Amino acid sequence: MDDSLRFAMSWDAFLKCIDELKSFSDELNDEWVLHKLHDGENGAYLTKKVRRQTFSQIDGGLISFEENLLVDESVPVNGDVTTHEYHVVYSSSYACPVLCLNIWRSNGSLLTIEECWVKFSFSSDDKYNTLTQMEHPVLMKPFITLHPCKTAELIGTFGNSKNIVVSWLSTVGPVIGLNMLTDYARLTY
């Protein structure tokens, strides 16, 4: 690894980035929620819930795709529905942002790490080092997590981005089904 690309993000820089992301999310009605528990390190994190319906058969075909739905539990839907809850947290150990998620089926049961590997098409070569189960640094509960070991190296490549968290989320989020609106790019320049 080239040490010139290694990047350490401070807690204050992380907090500034997620505050900006949350404010812009409000303008876009994109439903990110900022949880502020206290003023100290690891006292805040972002969450977003996305409800998805998977269709396995259409007109007798065997195609499969997912469609984002509004998060309204009172609205009945047909097909396999899952709720994806994404958390953007700060890792003091790695000095970088971390993306965590849990996925619930409509019956309330959580997808296992093995089911997530299949869902997001992780190959046997990279699945253990990329998508893992770790303790949420704030909630202290197990979450499926994009492993932060390469994050510092990755965010070091974002150069002059004015919001490293948005640049990073736009890059790694799609790996686990989190697609950022292109409007967020305005926060990065």
Per the annotation, the verdict on 149 as an active-site residue is yes
- Measure the CA angle with vertex 176, ends 109 and 98; round to 5°: 95
Specify whether the CB–CB gap between 176 and 147 falls below 8 A. no
Considering only CA atoms, give the Rg of the chain. Answer: 17
Cβ-defined contacts of 185-188 (< 8 Å, 24+)? 186/24, 187/20, 187/21, 187/24, 187/162, 187/163, 188/158, 188/161, 188/162, 188/163
Residues in Cβ contact with 55 at an 8 Å cutoff, skipping those fewer than 6 apart = 63, 64, 65, 66, 67, 79
Query: Which residues have a catalytic role annotated?
Result: 149
